[in-house]
Chains A and B, each alone.
Chain A
């Protein structure tokens, strides 16, 4: 009974939203067109060249990181679809149903996301990744100097001719559903990007993008209720992300030779 009440509320809300939206079709379609206009064409990937002549690397973290709980449930979207099958404007309403589905789940996840985020309070994803990346690059023995910069380099801090700057960004991190079940299982994740530019010329020599997922998975409740587990898992995940970026950088270093 306790579980069915929220479901009934969601279904009721879904019905209310969908059946009341006939007149909003035009608005929905216009919004979708608007989003379409805002999206940009994918950036062409620069062609990498060997960069095994780079012996000094400075790493700098930039950009904001958003902690997210991405459960990506199938409900209430599937219920919407069932309803829309019988609706005269079912096809046209489907994109709107997608948006409503997304909005409802965002509201549903908000509390858990906030609690999980509090559990990893003080953990800086960019800095943790940068440190792990630096350690891995140092351990490889392929570089004379690895530095982590706190701010954009100027003056003496600027990389020399055999130096390069690696800019790391972590647009998203958090927990994500990785296996269906009862309960579903989630893992820590981090989406990280890195770009290596030559110090003096600014030429991009390497562009890396990694979707990093923790090898272990657990119910979402573990991340919400167990602070120590959440912190340990997420720090481990971020260190793994730093190692992955470093390994891909090392692997690409003499590409084409």
Chain B
């Protein structure tokens, strides 16, 4: 009887442990909030039909975005990083008056994720998060296939917290992604190139 109770307890414990320790969580729900997307310099280009090529994830390690302190497991996002970046690009283009299409495009936007990482630095009474998002971008002529512009956008957010938490980790990553997208959306060169692409009407 005692043996059976012990076995049952160990099974229950093994099921509960990952949940208690947080390892059973689905990952950080990093996202780029639509409500905070503004019309900005990118809107100075006339509306264009833009195709977003599949976002390439060229990070050295694509299985995680960081490691929890004391080897307590990987930090991962709930959705693939490439999808998060694509969503952010779609939101910025749409809000700025451009149409995201899959055919008859004026331009192709080809993005590569070079870094999407959260470093956690333990202090004595606090923890420091440093989130880093690096996106390389090519604007390609929709008809000819020439590369019209190559840019690299780097967003970094640093934050000190008294108590480490997944909410704080997510917010730090959100902020780094937002900074990257804000740099992109306010880049006058990008707007200039979008304005200069040949459209169906100008070909």
Contacts and interface: CB of A to CB of B under 8 A. Distances in A.
20 contacts: A72-B123, A72-B126, A73-B123, A73-B124, A101-B124, A139-B188, A140-B186, A142-B41, A176-B158, A177-B128, A178-B130, A184-B121, A215-B132, A247-B186, A250-B40, A250-B186, A251-B182, A251-B185, A251-B186, A254-B38
Interface in A205-257: 211-213, 215, 243-244, 247-248, 250-257
A101 B123 CA distance: 11
Contacts of B39: 254, 257
B143 interface: no
A173 interface: no
A141 interface: yes
A211 B179 CA distance: 11
Interface string B46-62: 00000000000000000
B64 interface: no
Chain A, interface residues (CB within 8 Å), range = 35 or more
B121 A179 contact: yes
A75 B125 CA distance: 10
Contacts, number: 77
Interface residues of B, number: 27
Contacts of A252: 38
Interface in A166-222: 176-180, 184, 189, 211-213, 215
A5 interface: no
A177 B134 CA distance: 20
Interface in B113-127: 119, 121-126
Interface in B160-203: 179, 182-183, 185-186, 188
8 closest A-B pairs (Cβ-Cβ)? A77-B124, A72-B123, A250-B186, A251-B182, A247-B186, A213-B156, A211-B158, A213-B158
